[in-house]
Each structure stands twice: as C-alpha cells, then as structure tokens.
Amino acid sequence: AQKVTQAQTEISVVEKEDVTLDCVYETRDTTYYLFWYKQPPSGELVFLIRRNSFDEQNEISGRYSWNFQKSTSSFNFTITASQVVDSAVYFCALSAGNNQGGKLIFGQGTELSVKP
C-alpha cells in the first residue's frame, strides 16, 4: 500500500525561527516521486518541489530546504528564518506505480502558523 504520513498536525513558531515539517512515506515501488505543496489561507495549492527516488541529494531554494532519506523513508521540509507569509498548510505527496498515470497520494497536511 502507498501512504504518506505527516505526523505534525499543527506547528506554531515565532517569526525568524527555523521549522521542520516531517513527511514519512510508504511504497513498494523502487521508482517513485515525492512532492511538497503549500496551501495558503486563500486556498489554492502551490507546487514547491519534486524529488525522484534515485536522487537523494538535498535541495535548497532560498529559505526552503528539503532532506530526502530513503533509509528512513522520509522527505522533510525545513523553512529557515520563517516569515508570517509562510503561514499555510503544507502537504507532502507521493506518486508511484502509476504506469499510465500520475495520481498523487497526499498526507494529511501540517498547518504552520508563523506569528510576528
């Protein structure tokens, strides 16, 4: 079975703190893709990053960084020096075993609140 678990339902931090959002996935496929999406209060889902199962290099984009570890089936997301605009629900998602499709399996989401 394929599953994504985001154990942290809600996280609250003060501006400028670093925060890490955890994501653990399950799949038996050897080729798979992991994604992070952001859902701000306005409601739309914004694509942040895609990572394939063969690339375990960590990625940094500005204040955002992602740590992919196959050994622990985790794909964690860190925001450095958080800002109020980072307040949103963040979803981790998995796509695997879809030979002719690409459906996403989402975690339950982590609601991040950054207070000034």
CA distances from 97 to 24, 25, 65 (A): 18, 14, 26
Asked if 111 touches other proteins (CB under 8 A), the answer is no
Asked if 103 touches other proteins (CB under 8 A), the answer is yes
Question: What does the alpha-carbon distance between residue 3 and residue 47 come to, in Å, rounded to a whole number?
Answer: 19
- Reduce the DSSP state of residue 80 to 3 states and report it: coil
List 68, 95, 110, 112, residue binding other proteins (CB under 8 A): 95
Residue 13 vs 104, nearer CB to other proteins? 104
Q: Is 59 in contact with 51 (CB distance < 8 Å)?
A: yes
List 11, 13, 97, 111, residue binding other proteins (CB under 8 A): 97
Residues that bind other proteins (CB under 8 A): 31-33, 35, 37, 42-47, 50, 52, 91, 95-98, 100-109
